[in-house]
A and B are shown apart, each in its own frame.
Chain A
């Protein structure tokens, strides 16, 4: 089975532009989470979606938005890009069923999208 896929692999944008990142979860997984990882830091939680509904949001500005489609794939959108948005954006896939902290909710990461804002 294919793992989590993300596109594009790399992206270069300029300040003020908009970007859309895409993610397809592992087959059978219904939940997608998005994380931002700045160099030298651990991933920071942005959003989690399950069955097209937002199930969690991290401390990111409203410039960040996401959605999930009926096939469980997801998009992360970032508006009005800032230099500080340069990072590795990670998508993580999980079953999503069950209560939080359940073993079925273990998250598996995709290869990431490297965003550079100039």
Chain B
């Protein structure tokens, strides 16, 4: 079992729709969770982080964390073609400063 798992996609959504990206992790002691966006050929760009169970909203983005189910998700409202990218989920490995990344989900927003 991989430590952080994401569906590789591509996930295709029409412009204006809600895109839902999911991530599961195996280490129950993980405490910090991050979503990065990566355009092709570029480096990862931080979208948001979440530490507590529940929802955290930042503009069109909402991160959801459920530690009991070891699940974190990212919702993108009013999806735009410019949101088309790979979305990486990262988990801070318990007790260390190391981030463990999933393989990423490729999102395609269709105009």
Interface residues of A (CB under 8 A from B): 31, 33, 35, 40-45, 48, 50, 55-56, 58, 88, 90, 92, 94, 96, 100-101, 103, 105-112
Q: Which of A56, A90, A100, A105 has the most CB of B within 10 A?
A: A100
- Flag if B99 contacts A107 (CB, 8 Å): yes
Q: Tell me, yes or no, whether B14 is within 8 Å of chain A by CB.
A: no
Measured in the bound complex, the distance between the Cα atoms of B97 and A111 in whole Å is 21
User: How far is it, in angstroms, between the C-alpha of A56 and the C-alpha of B98 when the chains are bound?
Assistant: 7
Considering only CB atoms, which chain B residue lies closest to A55 in the complex? B97
State which size class the interface on B falls in.
Answer: 20 to 34
Nearest CB in chain B to that of A113: its residue: B43
Decide if B43 touches A112 in the complex (CB within 8 Å). Answer: yes
Cβ A41 vs Cβ B34 within 8 A: no
**B26-56, CB < 8 A from A:** 31-32, 34, 36, 42-46, 49, 51
Q: Which B residues lie at the A interface, using CB under 8 A?
A: 4, 31-32, 34, 36, 42-46, 49, 51, 88, 90, 92, 94-104
> Could you list 23 A-B pairs, sorted by A, with CB under 8 Å?
A33-B98, A42-B4, A42-B102, A42-B103, A43-B88, A43-B99, A45-B98, A48-B98, A56-B96, A56-B98, A58-B98, A92-B99, A96-B97, A100-B94, A100-B97, A101-B31, A101-B92, A103-B49, A103-B51, A106-B46, A109-B36, A109-B45, A112-B42
Say yes or no: B97 contacts A110, CB within 8 Å: no
Residues of B within 8 A of A111 (CB): 42-43
Cα A107 to Cα B36 in complex, Å, equals 10
Contacts of B102 in A (CB 8 A): 42
Q: Which residues of B contact A90 (CB under 8 A)?
A: 43-44
Q: Which chain A positions have C-beta within 8 A of B103?
A: 40-42
| Min C-beta distance of B77 to chain A, whole Å | 23
Closest Cβ of chain A to B27, distance in Å, is: 12
Q: Which 4 A-B pairs have the closest CB atoms?
A: A42-B101, A101-B31, A109-B43, A112-B43
